[in-house]
Structure 1
């Protein structure tokens, strides 16, 4: 039975055996990957500090959909993250559609009375009001923790109210307490898209006068690929990948971020789906292949020189465009390596620590190796088998073995590691660079939707920005002299993973 036959998608702990609590080294992880499986036992922390709720990445996707209303069925505060996300929604919609638009979100604002008596009547009223007020194409009904605890059936409410509204109702299960793997949010969004928006459409028995048009459309679709985008990818990165794919004769259907719900059907008719981030894409690409026979490639993230080349070669092989791809790769790499020459003298001997979601952290670490920096540590927010190939690449180019911390944030571990490793540079999420910055380490965001990171252009742009950062680290140096972190010297002197119980390690009492 397909996962999509169920109302709720499985959590990644069950589906992918993903883990969030593990300490290892890059070489050891690569050895495990060489055994064809890097499955590891998940651990527990005797002390935990900070995490990420499913709602944040789910809303980052849903708020970008044009002509969509997000209806949070939850306590009011659960929608607070949408305020910070709205800048990206406005900029992204302006770049792609020529008009800056705010994401529209509402909340049922569940309170103590609703917890006792149930929130379904309030949800029904909110759906009808959202449809009447905004006339959207879709309404995403996003369940937070409270409905999951009290047993509200958002799918049942959607089924009941659907005949009364024009918008297509999309129930999204983001009950944060059900999983520790925040990337399950991607599955939750794709689950409702697959169940409620996709249907198979084609042209059957065309009239004689339409046969040429049908033939030409079929020829076009035979060279059309689904290019999966993510909410952390800006338009400049999409354009870079479109440029590369167009250069080998392919058309692209960029999907799903900032794609209108009515256009999602295009995804079912493409010749191939191409992942840009396996962490983000695997659940949905599996469904497209299972339900609509659209094959997919889900191996490399096109960040860095080698990964972009491998990504492009995989796509070209499907369409018999290997020669075109090799000519393109040779020209791009030659030009890029010449351009990087000015940065390498400053990068020589410089050490860097990387922190991000699994694939973003690993692929970016490979890019940093390629431009001459030495990676001395990686903190990945979770781990699953998709990362195997990346561990092998990194270990093969590592100057020495280094630490891999699988942690859903945990800044106290990060602070300890940074004190020990003393990197010259730190790359992490925009809201996760504070620890390094206050320690005086120059920082750079590992993604920003206004900047370039992906493809060959991304390599140069990342190198250019890091070169500028390393040339003038005075801001972080001054910050460290005037601020302090809330950790004692005893903690900095302790073993950084003393609170982690995994691989036989005892938890600090």
Structure 2
């Protein structure tokens, strides 16, 4: 039975045996991966845990980008507050794609104590009817937070009952954060809804050309159409870089699903190939496209850095028999890029860097940093699953010395301890995760921003250029360290950084 036959997608702990609590080294992980049975590691537990994010954050980043859609949060009032900051990306993304800035539309049922006792289904039903009446959207995504999951509200049942009464397509999305510690499950939750409610309806019936020549032209076009997956991990500038590279091979690109026009949903089921830009995001849905619609997929490398971008292009070209064009493209791009990077290398020589991000972005970015001349001395990856194994091997192969890999769903206290010990010259992390390093006086750079370039060959040069500027003038972070103090005692900095991490109930120090 397909996962998509169920109302709710499985947890990544069950489906991928994903891990969020483990410490190792890059060489140790690479050695485990080379063992032939995969890098199977036990998920540990922390006796003390501090800070993570909810499934709602990545899910809403995707859902708010869908055009002509209303996001209806069925949960407590505070849930989904991240959409205030995400709206800047929605406006910028819609303007970059359509030439018009457009706000995301989201509402909340604002469940309170009375609703917890008596149930919130009636309130949800009234909210659906009001959202449909007020905005007349093409779709309403009903996003369940923790509260309805605890009290047993059936959002699927409500949506099914009300669908005949509203014009919008009702799309239930399960993001009950307490059900999983792997918040990347949010991508599965959104894709689960798209697969169950949109693709079969649109992809099979909407397009039926009558003219014989039109049929042939459509078949020829679709034979070279590829789905380029983006769940909000790339801005438009990165999409354009990958479109440029794929179109250089003679392919037509269908970016999916963020900011996707309804026609893109049709194309997704008819494309010749689906191409992942991040295995962490895409594997669940690409498996469904192949299973249900016969669309094959490539899900291996993230096109960040020189080596990974070239491998990514070669994998795509091999499917279509375009190997010769791909090699000419790669040779030209790499030669131009490597010549352009020479001006930055003298400053990067001997500089040490620590990287923190979601699994694949952290590992692929670390490889990029090696390529431009920086020395990686530590990585914090938000989780681990088998997709990371190919990246461990690349990083270990080029490492100047072995270094720590902290698999942790944020945990800033471990990060502060590690940074105080390793004393890197540079820290790359998410915008809301750079504070610890900045307050320790370490120059920081955001590892993800939809307005900046990170992907492909252009991304390598742009990252190098920005890091060169940051390292040339680190005065801001030094001033922060002189005037601010983190809330940790000296005794914690002297303690073993993983002393709160247990595996199978036993301390790692035992």
Q: TM-score range by the shorter chain?
A: over 0.9
The Cα of 1:97 is off from its aligned counterpart by: 1.1
Q: What number of residue pairs does the alignment pair up?
A: 507
The Cα of 1:507 is off from its aligned counterpart by: 7.0
| Structure 1 residues 120 and 391: alpha-carbon distance in aligned structure 2, compared to 1, 3 A threshold | same
Alignment of 1:91 with 2:88, yes or no, is no
Residues in 2 aligned to 1:361 and 1:175: alpha-carbon distance in whole angstroms: 26
The Cα of 1:246 is off from its aligned counterpart by: 0.4
> Secondary structure of the equivalent of 2:302?
coil
TM-score between the two structures when normalised by the length of structure 2: 0.98
The Cα of 1:232 is off from its aligned counterpart by: 2.5
> Secondary structure of the equivalent of 2:93?
helix
> Secondary structure of the equivalent of 1:388?
helix
Of the structure 1 ranges 259-268 and 441-450, higher mean CA displacement relative to structure 2 is found in 259-268
Structure 2: gaps of 5 or more residues: none
| Structure 1 residues 203 and 94: alpha-carbon distance in aligned structure 2, compared to 1, 3 A threshold | closer
| Structure 1 residues 97 and 26: alpha-carbon distance in aligned structure 2, compared to 1, 3 A threshold | same
The Cα of 1:505 is off from its aligned counterpart by: 5.0
The Cα of 1:93 is off from its aligned counterpart by: 0.5
Residues in 2 aligned to 1:72 and 1:174: alpha-carbon distance in whole angstroms: 10
The Cα of 1:264 is off from its aligned counterpart by: 1.2
The Cα of 1:39 is off from its aligned counterpart by: 1.8
Residues in 2 aligned to 1:65 and 1:136: alpha-carbon distance in whole angstroms: 11
Match of residue 5 from structure 2: 5
| Structure 1 residues 178 and 438: alpha-carbon distance in aligned structure 2, compared to 1, 3 A threshold | same
TM-score between the two structures when normalised by the length of structure 1: 0.98
8 Å CA contact retained: 1:131, 1:166: yes
Structure 1: gaps of 5 or more residues: none
Match of residue 348 from structure 2: 347
Residues in 2 aligned to 1:45 and 1:330: alpha-carbon distance in whole angstroms: 47
> Secondary structure of the equivalent of 1:41?
coil
Residues in 2 aligned to 1:507 and 1:322: alpha-carbon distance in whole angstroms: 48
The alignment yields a C-alpha RMSD, in angstroms, of 1.3
Match of residue 296 from structure 1: 297
Spell out the pairing of 1:291-330 with structure 2 (5 A cutoff).
291-330=292-331
The Cα of 1:182 is off from its aligned counterpart by: 0.5
Match of residue 425 from structure 2: 424
Residues in 1 aligned to 2:208 and 2:6: alpha-carbon distance in whole angstroms: 34
The Cα of 1:261 is off from its aligned counterpart by: 4.1
Match of residue 335 from structure 1: 336
Match of residue 413 from structure 2: 412
Spell out the pairing of 1:8-27 with structure 2 (5 A cutoff).
8-27=8-27
The Cα of 1:346 is off from its aligned counterpart by: 0.3
> Secondary structure of the equivalent of 2:10?
coil
Residues in 2 aligned to 1:143 and 1:384: alpha-carbon distance in whole angstroms: 26
Residues in 1 aligned to 2:209 and 2:507: alpha-carbon distance in whole angstroms: 69
Match of residue 451 from structure 1: 452
| Structure 1 residues 211 and 418: alpha-carbon distance in aligned structure 2, compared to 1, 3 A threshold | same
Once the two structures are superposed, residues 394-414 of structure 1 have per-residue CA deviations (whole angstroms, 9 ceiling, x without a partner) of: 000000000000000000000
Alignment of 1:33 with 2:33, yes or no, is yes
8 Å CA contact retained: 2:255, 2:264: no
The Cα of 1:486 is off from its aligned counterpart by: 0.1
Once the two structures are superposed, residues 374-409 of structure 1 have per-residue CA deviations (whole angstroms, 9 ceiling, x without a partner) of: 000000000000000000000000000000000000
The Cα of 1:260 is off from its aligned counterpart by: 2.7
| Structure 1 residues 206 and 94: alpha-carbon distance in aligned structure 2, compared to 1, 3 A threshold | closer
8 Å CA contact retained: 1:307, 1:363: yes
Of the structure 1 ranges 176-185 and 95-104, higher mean CA displacement relative to structure 2 is found in 95-104
Residues in 2 aligned to 1:287 and 1:103: alpha-carbon distance in whole angstroms: 28
